[in-house]
Chains A and B, each alone.
Chain A
Amino acid sequence: MQDTLLWSRILTSLTLGFHIIFATIGVGVPVMIMIAEWLGIRRNDPHYMLLARRWSRGFTVTVAVGVVTGTCIGLQLSLLWPSFMQIAGQVIALPLFMETFAFFFEAIFLGIYLYTWDRFKNRWLHWAFIIPVVIGSSASAFFITTVNAFMNAPQGFTLENGVITHIEPLKAMFNPATPTKVSHVLSSAFMTSAAILAAVTAWLILRGRRTEYYKKALRLTVLWTFVFGVGTALIGDLSGKYLAEYQPEKLAAAEWHFETKEHADLLVGGVLDEKNQQVKGALPLPGMLSFLAHSDFNAKVTGLNEFPKDVWPPLFVHYLFDLMVGVGVYAVAISLLFLVIRIWNKSQEWNSWLLRLIVLGGPLSVIGIELGWMFAEIGRQPWILRGYMRTSQGVTTSSDVGAMLILFALLYLVLGVVCIYVLLRMTKKNPPEAEMQKRGITL
């Protein structure tokens, strides 16, 4: 029984952790495509048009993996957590159901967009077809994230003797966690996608491709990494304020903040002595936790000791939180550095160290997404539905979860490897230079 719980948790995290990479790309890259094609038409610049075209081609491959892994998680929720879905399904089915419409909408218009390049005289008409794709993918992220928000801050129903009554679907969907969660998920997806595209461009430049096309691509992607990065950090700050109000135990666990007090410090890194609740070697930022929680350096922040020990989240979430924030700081700092250098000292724009740092930003952002989700989900433990249902109560009674874990691990391994192989082959076989020549674009 205990094993089933463990395997189910691992399988769920594996599927979600794999899906989220492709989901993030699926939400963010259409936005970048939209921006690039817009610039291309606006400035009548074939380079931007080519960027949009090439990005969208790679995008189709990642979308495919996103769709199939999403299908996996959609079914696995019922397979691994049947009791949870039986209860939660009654209250939160609405956004899950609407999400499928968003997918439908996105899938239809993505098909149209991909196959109608050069089909219309008016190029804005083709551009217009990416807009429903952007709306569809952001809407699906919105809907699914409200479900997750509901797990963190359930409302909109009454539970009496195991029977659910007084259901208000809209109230359940628009719970207190929804605003910050949705906006943070969206902005971090936009940032990560821009950072990945910037990393790919910088990598190609490092390998000696130095034409105007790459220059434009790099400036565009780094600029947007910066914009979305700042947005992500600001919204992350709001997420902290949400936690302080509705899930104080999660915030306290993230900061190893045991005693309720005013003017609380934010701790960076460090090692915890759990018995004595002592932290060693951490860098304290005076009053910053109070600010993160309540926008006031002197405000009072609730500590973990206010809560019974059996509802404490695992305390290692501290590191997950710190690393996630670290990724945000890194992405904003590096992209700002690039922008500043571009304005002040153009000759250093191609500085190979700067390019290397940008390359690193791509994988780091993906790791940031993973860490953020691990923090949010593990920080919710032991609850699957905070305050109502423990994770151990939601799990399946089947004894075959271990074998399924191996099966899916193999599947994701194959999908991941083949996906990367196919993407590499695509650029190798049809490099931008060849395509520019074919289309008569000056390099």
Chain B
Amino acid sequence: MSIELLGITILWLFLLGYVIVASIDFGAGFFALYGKWTGTGEIVNQVIQRYLSPVWEVTNVFLIFFVVGIVGFFPDTAYYYGTALLVPASIALVLLAIRGSFYAFDHYGKTNTVFLFLYGFTGLLIPASLATVLTISIGGFVEKQGNNVVLLMGKLFASPYSWSVVFLALVSVLFISASFLTYYANRAQDKQAEELLRTWAVFWSFPTIFASFLVFLSLRNHNLEFFNNMLDVSWLFILSFAFFLCAVSLLIRKKSYGLAFIFVMLQFASAFFGYGIGHMPYLLYPYVTIYSGVNNPIMAEALVWAFVGGLCLLVPSLYLLMRLFLFNAGYVQGRK
């Protein structure tokens, strides 16, 4: 494997990590809001609060890691995306800032319905705006005009592909989140919450798979090269669909929610990598490839070593965090 490919694989893995962890986080915020609205609050909220509290900060770091990593490995991306995305990325940043800080204000400081509303609602807008970056990367929406790189906003908003990606992002967030929280409620032996969340998970599963097909099909009109690349690895998407069926059947039959959530993760992982492979070698079609950026293998090597060292530190710490909170029966059930 070349160093470039290794770099992008690591980063892609982290982005996948962000997608999963952040989906749980964003979705949970939305469910908390929804619960409050409809009066089902008490049940769900307790489960959600116990999960979110110790882990929320970790989520954000996944994103930072990806951004810093991609600029480090492929400095050209900083130039192209940086110039083109000033406005949309700034808006996403403001949303992220509101979401993170108001979550903390609400939770550690002072419970307040406005705060809850702010973080619950922004949690849905963020995935939509971040997903748009993936849309842009397939090309056609960014143009180099002389010395400037511009984003063709009008085209972006008029594109059905772009909207199908946004739709997919939204429903995936709710699906991933509900299936995790079902498992968590089950561990917490909170029957009522479990049942409610399970219904949600099943409810959101079908829009998710529908949206995936939609994106897949509309990509064909947009970038045939990527579409054909993806057909070459169609086994990954078939696998993904199989994982999806396993997850949903478990959820419907009210069985092994833990396993069901693992299937959900596998479903997303295989589709995510299928999409990623289809994308190679472009980081921004047709301007930036993974090879055009790295003209200095020395830095890429240093980064890979730093990454290995960092993992040696992080994996045991994350394990400890999970042992103490997520998978500690006493904590989950509220006894600690």
Which residues of A does B touch, CB under 8 Å?
Answer: 57, 60-61, 63-65, 67-72, 74-76, 78-83, 85-87, 89-91, 93-94, 96-101, 103-105, 107-112, 114-116, 119, 132, 163-165, 167-170, 396-398, 400-401, 403-404, 407-408, 411, 414-415, 418-419, 422-423, 425-426, 429
Contact = CB atoms under 8 A, between A and B. Distances in A.
B60 A404 contact: no
A78 B84 CA distance: 11
A111 B58 contact: yes
10 contacts: A80-B82, A80-B86, A93-B75, A93-B299, A97-B303, A101-B306, A104-B65, A132-B317, A167-B299, A411-B98
Contacts of A60: 104, 108
A138 to B, nearest CB: 15
Interface string B83-99: 10111011101101110
B75 A79 contact: no
Interface stretch (B27-35, B39-47, B222-230, B319-327): B319-327
B79 A85 contact: yes
Interface stretch (B49-57, B237-245, B246-254): B49-57
A64 B105 contact: yes
Contacts of B81: 78
Contact of A116 (B55, B91, B310, B324): B324
B314 A101 contact: yes
A93 B324 contact: no
A78 B82 contact: yes
A107 B62 CA distance: 11
Given A63-B57, A89-B75, A415-B101, A397 B313 contact: no
A112 B299 contact: no
Given A75-B93, A105-B314, A425-B110, A100 B75 contact: no
Main secondary structure of the interface of A (DSSP, over half): helix
Interface residues of B, number: 66
A80 B223 CA distance: 30
A174 to B, nearest CB: 13
B101 A64 contact: yes
B61 A422 contact: no
Nearest to A66: B101
A101 B310 contact: yes
A167 B89 contact: no
Nearest to B100: A68
A396 B86 contact: yes
Contacts of B76: 86
B72 A94 contact: yes
Nearest to B80: A82
Given A75-B67, A86-B76, A411 B54 contact: no
Contacts of B104: 60-61, 63-65
Contacts of B303: 93-94, 97
Given A400-B86, A408-B90, A78 B54 contact: no
Given A68-B97, A71-B96, A111-B58, A97 B79 contact: no
Contacts of B299: 90-91, 93-94, 167, 169
B105 A418 contact: yes
A105 B78 contact: no
B101 A65 contact: yes
Contacts of A68: 60, 96-97, 100-101
Residue from the set B68, B69, B309 with the largest chain A CB neighbour count within 10 Å: B68
B109 A425 contact: yes
A108 B58 contact: yes
Given A67-B57, A93-B303, 10 more contacts: A86-B76, A94-B72, A97-B72, A99-B68, A104-B310, A105-B317, A114-B54, A163-B295, A396-B86, A414-B98
A61 B78 contact: no
B83 A411 contact: no
A426 B109 contact: yes
Given A71-B93, A105-B317, A98 B306 contact: yes
Contacts of B64: 70-71, 74, 100, 103
Contacts of B53: 111, 115
A422 B110 contact: yes
B38 interface: no
A403 B110 CA distance: 32
Contacts of B79: 82-83, 85-86
Given A75-B89, A169-B302, A408 B94 contact: yes
A94 B298 contact: no
Contacts of A114: 54
A61 B107 CA distance: 9
Given A98-B306, A115-B325, A89 B93 contact: no
Nearest to B323: A112
Contact of A97 (B61, B94, B306): B306
Interface in B114-149: 147-149
A322 B306 CA distance: 40
Residue from the set B81, B109, B318 with the largest chain A CB neighbour count within 10 Å: B109
B103 interface: yes
What are the nearest 7 A-B pairs in CB distance? Answer: A93-B72, A64-B104, A82-B82, A422-B109, A101-B310, A89-B75, A68-B97
Contacts of A93: 68, 71-73, 75, 299, 303
